[in-house]
Structures are given as structure tokens and as C-alpha cells.
Homo-oligomer: A and B are copies of this chain.
């Protein structure tokens, strides 16, 4: 199935939401946003996920990241369901909007359709798709999970930290990186440039090829 992928501009759709009409590009504004779908209101994994997203809302806010949910249920259903989500883990308040896409236009354009799930009328349902969108309205990172597997919100936060650190400092983050750990210097930066740019210096891994491409630095204190 064709669909939105890394580097694509998210479609500038306007949809109803629990916070009124939302036009996606206006919502993203000049910051980052996470657009994430859930298969359906009043279903088990989705309740745990939207509660978890609510629990992490402050972490995302600190990073200038707005949250935007979406499913094919209507706004009235979302609003009723939010009572359940907030009762499930008291304290996790759903302060972010959830969009309604009964026509399936948005989930199709956002590459959020789950091919294995249908509603009782045979209509398409969303997967657990999540796109991190940058200030340029482009998809920076996507995770597509099926209905049966809830996401790991810690990893979403880590991914935001990695993307923002890379964008801000023109570095890259190694596998399993956590904030505070050393980052790597991208291949396009010469050693001379790197010495200027990273005053704390850098360590070049001693590898058989002797190409000197794996350079670690503590750039982002």
C-alpha cells in the first residue's frame, strides 16, 4: 500500500477533534509534533497507550513537542472515552487533542491503516502508527505497530531527544544512545572542523580500516 514515509510532508488536513477543528500544519506550527493513531476508542491496549501518552505529556512539552491523537471514532466517542482513560491511571490527564477521522481519508493519507483490522461494518481501522513531525512539517521518524502490540513511550521520548540533539548540534546519536551519553560526529565533518566545533575534543575509534570515521564527542552538555 502506498503511504506517507520518512521525509514526506504530512498532509495539511483539517479534522474535527476533541479541541475543535484542527488543521495539521497549523497545529505543528514551528515546533515538533507527534501524530499517533489508535485502532479504536473503548478498546484495551489503546486505553493504556493514551493514558501513557498523557503520563508523558510533560516530558514532551519540555521538549516543545505537541501530541495529536487520531482514530476513526467521532468526537463524542473520544470525549466519553477520555473519562475512562483518565480513570485508568488517575493523574494522567488527556490534555492533548484527539482527531476524528470517520471517513478514513486522514488515516489513509497518513499511512496509518492496519490491513488486518476492520470495524463491524468492514471499515478500515488504524494501526498504532506514530510519526514524529519536524518544524518543516516533514516526517522525521515513524513507528508502525500493529493493534496487538502497545508502543514503548520511553523509546518515543528517547527518539525525540536523539532527533533534537542531532538537529541542534549537527551530530548523530549511536545505537541505544541516551541523553548525556557521547554522540558521534557525522562523516561530512573533517577532523579540523570537528576540533573547532567541539572544543572538548573527540575520540576516534581505532579500527582495522584506519579510516577514522567513528568519532565520539561530548558535545551537548
A167 to chain B, nearest CB (A): 8
Question: What is the interface size of chain A, counting residues whose CB is below 8 A from a CB of the partner?
Answer: 72
Q: A144 to chain B: which residues have CB within 8 Å?
A: 5-6, 141-144
Given contacts A44-B186, A49-B174, A175-B151, contact A115 B1 (CB under 8 A): no
Inter-subunit contact B142/A174 (CB<8 Å): no
Q: A211 to chain B: which residues have CB within 8 Å?
A: 42, 84
Please state the number of chain copies in the assembly.
2
Q: Which of A19-27, A68-76, A97-105, A154-162 contacts B (4 or more CB under 8 A)?
A: A154-162
Given contacts A142-B143, A144-B142, A173-B148, contact A214 B153 (CB under 8 A): no
Selected A-B contacts with CB under 8 Å, 8 pairs: A1-B8, A44-B174, A53-B175, A84-B214, A141-B145, A142-B144, A149-B173, A150-B176
